[in-house]
Each structure stands twice: as structure tokens, then as C-alpha cells.
């Protein structure tokens, strides 16, 4: 298997990554053959995965613009994946040129790519860290340099919590991040769910099995279980809803049924 020149040293290119598989769904090029093969296998069960990924990215853009309109000028994008066209820093640059963004991921390829796309931009940075260890994120030099936790911050957890198993207590991790941020901070979440997927659960479970096989477990939570991540937050209207229904604009006029295969919401810390 040929190793691309851009692959960071030490990366096992034979081991698929959820971030790079998502890049495949979005038509990106920062992925390896192992990622593409895993994506092809998952698509056999859920052919709408690219549409789900697009709906997730579109919601994130709307949530970022909402945060800017609410006066927030600092963003912590945890589980950022591989920033592509319309990434958080690009939306921020257009809507609030002085705002700051820190990308966070535990995939070295995602972090290397994020650093490359924001290179030379002093208000943006990326850090190699894991949502399961919030203290490592909050204590990183990149976050300390750009994010003032005494002021409202937008926490973006898009398509990441469904990769954190209950054994790692994702609710506690989100709670630790909440407690570290100021009153008025926002939490934006997307999470895939069996609720809304336009195929039988048994078929969707086949894609879950693909992710389990590559040691990136995909956890399908119910709407009620996803709502628990917003403890300590007041939900912003329209609440926790299918991704296309959160403050839809012309960008998401498309009502492809696959776009409804997960929930999205924004909460404001009390």
C-alpha cells in the first residue's frame, strides 16, 4: 500500500479512521485506501451516509452563524474531522473576522490538515486531543492562547458523541466542558440515531457493525439519550430536532429523507 507524502509520520495507513471515512463521504482526498474500503462497506448498508454527513456540516454552519449573531466570538470545535469547504473557520471569517477558532481531534491526519488550512492565521489553531479527556483540551497551549473561558464560548460537538462509548462516560465529559465555560456559552450537538433512518434498524445495524470492526464503535442513541447532553443548558428554539429542521434556510431546502437520520440542537448555558 503506497504511503501518501502528506501522511503524518507514525500513522498506520492500513487502519481506518472515522474522521477520514467521513472525509470519503464528503468527497475529500485526505484519506487512505483502508478508509475508502470501510466507507464502501458502510455504504452498502446506509447508502445515504454522504447525505447525512452533508446535513451535519450544514447544521454546523448554521449553528456557527447563530453563535456569531448571539455575540460569541470564540469557538472550540471538538471532533472537527478534516475541515473542508465551508469549515468553521471559513464561516467565522466571513461572519466575524475577529473571532477565534480552535479545532480539536484525536486523528493526527485531521489535526495536521486543520493546521495546514489555517496556517498563518493567528486567530485559528488546531490541537491533538481527545473528547474523552476534557482536561487535555482545556489545558492545551492552543486553547489557553486563543480561548478565554471566562467569556462565552461556542462548543461544537458535531458528529463526535456517537463515537464515544458509554464506558467512557460522554455525559461527564460534556459536563466537564460545560462547567469550564462561562454562563451564556453555547453547546451545539449533532448525533446519529436509529430514529429517522429510512431503512429498517436491522439494515442500519450493518453499518454499525462496520465501524465496530474497525475499532471505531458507532453508538446509536435515542433522542432522549441525546437530550441528556444538554443538562445545564436551556435549549434554543426549535430544540432538539432532526438536522434539517434546526433553523432551516435555503441551504437545506433539500428534504432528502437521509438528512433526517440524526438529531441536532443548540443549548445556552445558564
Domains, the chain: 48-198+218-269 (3.40.50.150)
Mean pLDDT value of segment 166-186: 98
Mean pLDDT value of segment 177-190: 98
Mean pLDDT value of segment 199-219: 97
Is the pLDDT at 251 greater than 70, yes or no?
A: no
Q: What angle do CA 55, 59, 63 make, to 5 degrees?
A: 175
Mean pLDDT value of segment 191-207: 97
Is the pLDDT at 254 greater than 60, yes or no?
A: no
Phi-psi region of 211 (alpha: psi -120 to 50; beta: other; left: phi over 0): alpha
- Check if the beta carbon of residue 192 is closer than 8 Å to that of residue 150: no
Neighbours of 219 (CB within 10 A): 17
- Mean pLDDT is lowest, of 38-42, 94-98, 160-164, 185-189, for 94-98
Q: What's the whole-number average pLDDT of the chain?
A: 94
Q: Please give the pLDDT value at position 5.
A: 66
Between CA 124 and CA 107 the distance in angstroms is: 18
Mean pLDDT value of segment 136-162: 98
Mean pLDDT value of segment 179-184: 98
Q: Please give the pLDDT value at position 255.
A: 75
Mean pLDDT value of segment 218-230: 98
Residues 6+ apart with CB under 8 A from 237: none
Residue 132: pLDDT band (50, 70, 90) is very high
Among 27, 192, 30, 213, smallest CA distance to 108 is for 30
Is the pLDDT at 3 greater than 80, yes or no?
A: no
pTM for the predicted model, two decimal places? 0.94
Mean pLDDT value of segment 194-202: 96
Q: Please give the pLDDT value at position 229.
A: 98
- Check if the beta carbon of residue 191 is closer than 8 Å to that of residue 160: no
Residue 249: pLDDT band (50, 70, 90) is confident
Amino acid at each position: 500500500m503506497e504511503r501518501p507524502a502528506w501522511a503524518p509520520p507514525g500513522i498506520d495507513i492500513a487502519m481506518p479512521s472515522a474522521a477520514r471515512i467521513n472525509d470519503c463521504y464528503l468527497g475529500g482526498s485526505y484519506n487512505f485506501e483502508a478508509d475508502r474500503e470501510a466507507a464502501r462497506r458502510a455504504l452498502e448498508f446506509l447508502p445515504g451516509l454522504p447525505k447525512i454527513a452533508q446535513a451535519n456540516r450544514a447544521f454546523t454552519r448554521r449553528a456557527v452563524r447563530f453563535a456569531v449573531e448571539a455575540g460569541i466570538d470564540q469557538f472550540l470545535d471538538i471532533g472537527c474531522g478534516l475541515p473542508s469547504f465551508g469549515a468553521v473557520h471559513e464561516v467565522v471569517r466571513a461572519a466575524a473576522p475577529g473571532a477565534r477558532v480552535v479545532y480539536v481531534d484525536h486523528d493526527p491526519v485531521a489535526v495536521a490538515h486543520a493546521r495546514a488550512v489555517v496556517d498563518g492565521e493567528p486567530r485559528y489553531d488546531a490541537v491533538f486531543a481527545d473528547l474523552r479527556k476534557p482536561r487535555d483540551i482545556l489545558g492545551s497551549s492552543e486553547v489557553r492562547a486563543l480561548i478565554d473561558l471566562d467569556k462565552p464560548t461556542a462548543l461544537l460537538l458535531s458528529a463526535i458523541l456517537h463515537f464515544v462509548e458509554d464506558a467512557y462516560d460522554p455525559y461527564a465529559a460534556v459536563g466537564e466542558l460545560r462547567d469550564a465555560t462561562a454562563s451564556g456559552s453555547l453547546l451545539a450537538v449533532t448525533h446519529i440515531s436509529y430514529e429517522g433512518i429510512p431503512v429498517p434498524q436491522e439494515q442500519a445495524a450493518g453499518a454499525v457493525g462496520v465501524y465496530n470492526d474497525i475499532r471505531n464503535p458507532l453508538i446509536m442513541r435515542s433522542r432522549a439519550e441525546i437530550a441528556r447532553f444538554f443538562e445545564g443548558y436551556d435549549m434554543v428554539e426549535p430544540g432538539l430536532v432532526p438536522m434539517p429542521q434546526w433553523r432551516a434556510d435555503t441551504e437545506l431546502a433539500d428534504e432528502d429523507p437521509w438528512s433526517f437520520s440524526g438529531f441536532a440542537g443548540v443549548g445556552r448555558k445558564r
